[in-house]
Structures are given as C-alpha cells and as structure tokens.
Amino acid sequence: MRIHCPLCGERDRREFYVKGAAMERPAGNAGLDDWHAYVHLRENPAGVLAELWYHEMGCGSWLSVTRDTATHEVLKVELASALGLGGAA
Ligand SMILES: [Zn+2]
C-alpha cells in the first residue's frame, strides 16, 4: 500500500505508524461516557474508514488517511492538523 503524504509525496506504508480511527478528541470537561467512547469504542468496518497515520520515517506529520479497509485503496490524505485532529500519542 502506498500513501501520498501531503509534504513528502508518495511513500510506502511501512514508513508510517497507524494509530487507528481518526476521531475528534472530547473536550476536557466531557463526561465519562464521551471519554469511554473516545478511548475504547471503535468502528471496524469492511469499507471506508478515516484513520490517523504518523509519518514516522518521513516528515513526522500526523495524517488523516481515508481508505477502504477491504481493498486498501487510499481515497484521501490530509494533514491532521488542518482538520483539528490531534495525533500525538
Ligand atoms: Zn511526510
């Protein structure tokens, strides 16, 4: 699988670390149910899913990668920071 990093260009997926589903982090004062859902609950579709990927062996950017999990076709790649998604582990 190849991922087109917006800063580095097309790269092999082995240059990246995948964190999981790209989800918006709850506010600091959010309730336990919101934090439980953010930390523990994930969709696992056989289909289109947006995930956070870290370009570990490249520019060090967090990316939102939208791909089809059944075919591994990458549909869209965006900088996570541009979407307001935090990726830091
Ligand atoms: Zn990069």
Per-domain boundaries in the chain: 2-83
32 CA from centroid of ligand 1 (Å): 35
Tally the residues of the chain.
89
- pLDDT attached to residue 78: 96
- pLDDT attached to residue 20: 85
- pLDDT attached to residue 88: 52
Residue numbers in the chain where pLDDT is lower than 50:
89
Contact 39, 4 (CB under 8 A): no
| DSSP conformation class of 13 | G
72 CA from centroid of ligand 1 (Å): 19
- pLDDT attached to residue 44: 84
Contact 1, 77 (CB under 8 A): no
- pLDDT attached to residue 74: 96
How far does the chain reach from its first CA to its final CA, in angstroms? 23
12 CA from centroid of ligand 1 (Å): 11
30 CA from centroid of ligand 1 (Å): 32
Looking at CATH, the fold of the domain delimited by 2-83 is given as: Folate-binding fold (3.30.2270)
